[in-house]
Amino acid sequence: MEEENEQCNSAIDGNFEEVCPEKVIKFKPPLYKQRYQFVRDFVDQHKPKKVADLGCGDTELLRLLKIYPCIQRLVGVDIDKEKLQSNGHQLSPYLGEFVKPRDLDLTVILYHGSVVERDSRLLGFDLITCIELIEHLDSDDLARFPEVVFGYLSPAMIVISTPNSEFNPLFPTVTLRDADHKFEWNRMEFQTWALQVANRYHYSVEFTGVGEPPAGAEHVGYCTQIGVFRKNSGKVYKTSYPSLQQEKMLKFVLVGEVLILVERLRLRQQRMLREQKDLCNDPDNTDSSGPPQVLLGAVFTEAEEARIENSPKPFCEGDKFFVPLQRLLAYPKVHRLRVTEERMRSLISDSVQLSSDGSAVMDDLYKSWDYQFEDY
């Protein structure tokens, strides 16, 4: 479980094996990869669109995050300009990313700057990550950090990781894990700081970590401690209403309307066929007017009637009854759903039977239960 952080050249990467081979702790996967994996899982779960990694170092985390389709803006900030310049090119799209472009835009930007300076380009982010950053801040910068990141940038979510000093006795001769660390906190110190910051800037915080301690040393906790902060929305109650913008709801309503319409048109077709038959049998009946544009009580406006009349008519082939999708789309209750014929086809195709060319809904002209209703 060795703390193999290639990113910060820590003492723990160094010469443990020489110093005390029996005390070397090797993490599998390496600890820095576990930290990145934690962020990847978090992104996978919360699908942020705009993500900023503060203290991004050699940009490795950004390179791992750029593959997530939900992310449309990815920003890295570091005080070390050289690191950014020498690693920036690695964030350019690969050949494969031109061959198979993303569905949504992605812009990746690196800014040179300090996390304790207000930068309006970092406003409005969904997620800000600070992986192994805060322990590099001196006391003045650490004091300014919450006001800038939580108070000013105020993203929806913040992930902060930092070493857990309780784990350090498991490493050989380590007081601080990296020469540039200004401090390393135990769990109580980190959690006290994090809770104060969260309360002050209206966030909730949960604590976790990566880098499991070895068997028998569970009491020291994770090697890296992590605070996950979420901005309180101030909401007391929240509910979402069903709407036609939701695919499932649109499909549900559309299929329902289609089934009702097809059934009514099928019964009307039967009635028309019966009337035609009666007409042939009764030469005195001279009423040859077509079926009224009334479907079981629905009365249409002139414009609606014209739209229906101008659409392809239902028809029979043998004992099969067909209603063209365009006809269905002309009826007001389907028309108001504002779907194209193609969208309608894809939404209803697994719920109703379609003609072989997919242009009409197909049904049996006569059903076993029809006779029961004939006299009503």
Beta bridge partners of 111: 77
CB 134 to ligand SAM: min, Å: 9
Binding pattern to ligand SAM, positions 41-80, x when CB under 6 A?
--------------xxx--xx---------------xxxx
Segment near ligand SAM (CB under 6 A); pick from 86-94, 127-135, 293-301, 319-327? 127-135
Q: Does 133 bind ligand SAM (CB under 6 A)?
A: yes
Q: Between residue 166 and residue 195, which ones bind ligand SAM under the rule CB under 6 A?
A: none
CB 333 to ligand SAM: min, Å: 56
Q: Does 115 bind ligand SAM (CB under 6 A)?
A: yes
Q: Does 8 bind ligand SAM (CB under 6 A)?
A: yes
- Measured from the CB atom, the residue of 66 and 307 that comes closer to ligand SAM is 66
φ, ψ for residue 320, nearest 5 deg: -105, 145
- Measured from the CB atom, the residue of 74 and 330 that comes closer to ligand SAM is 74
CB 205 to ligand SAM: min, Å: 19
Distance CA 1, CA 173 (A): 16
231, two tokens:
């901005």
Those residues with Cβ within 8 angstroms of residue 314's Cβ, 6 or more apart along the chain or in another chain: 265, 269, 321, 322, 323, 324, 327
DSSP secondary structure string for all residues of 223-266: SEEEEEEEE----S-------TTSHHHHHHHHHHHHHHHHHHHH
From candidates 33, 50, 136, 251, binder to ligand SAM by CB under 6 A: 136
CB 208 to ligand SAM: min, Å: 16
Segment near ligand SAM (CB under 6 A); pick from 11-19, 112-120, 296-304, 336-344? 112-120
Distance CA 184, CA 178 (A): 10
Q: Does 33 bind ligand SAM (CB under 6 A)?
A: no
Report helix, strand or coil for 158.
strand
- Measured from the CB atom, the residue of 51 and 137 that comes closer to ligand SAM is 137
Q: Does 314 bind ligand SAM (CB under 6 A)?
A: no
Distance CA 7, CA 135 (A): 14
Q: Does 87 bind ligand SAM (CB under 6 A)?
A: no
CB 195 to ligand SAM: min, Å: 23
Q: Does 198 bind ligand SAM (CB under 6 A)?
A: no
Q: Does 131 bind ligand SAM (CB under 6 A)?
A: yes
320, two tokens:
């099969």
Distance CA 357, CA 142 (A): 68
- Measured from the CB atom, the residue of 1 and 159 that comes closer to ligand SAM is 159
Q: Does 160 bind ligand SAM (CB under 6 A)?
A: no
208 DSSP assignment: E
CB 55 to ligand SAM: min, Å: 3
* Number of chain residues interacting with ligand SAM (CB under 6 A): 22
Task: Give the angle subtended at the CA of 34 by the CAs of 67 and 232, to the nearest 5°.
Answer: 75
Q: Does 110 bind ligand SAM (CB under 6 A)?
A: no
CB 13 to ligand SAM: min, Å: 11
Task: Give the angle subtended at the CA of 12 by the CAs of 10 and 15, to the nearest 5°.
Answer: 105
Strands 320-324 and 157-163: unpaired
From candidates 50, 83, 177, 266, binder to ligand SAM by CB under 6 A: 83
Owner of token pair 């170092």: 57
Those residues with Cβ within 8 angstroms of residue 122's Cβ, 6 or more apart along the chain or in another chain: 52, 75, 77, 111, 128, 153
Distance CA 314, CA 273 (A): 13
- Measured from the CB atom, the residue of 141 and 212 that comes closer to ligand SAM is 141
Q: Does 2 bind ligand SAM (CB under 6 A)?
A: no
56, two tokens:
């991004």
For ligand SAM, the binding residues (CB under 6 A) are 7-8, 32, 55-57, 60-61, 77-80, 83, 114-116, 131-133, 136-137, 141
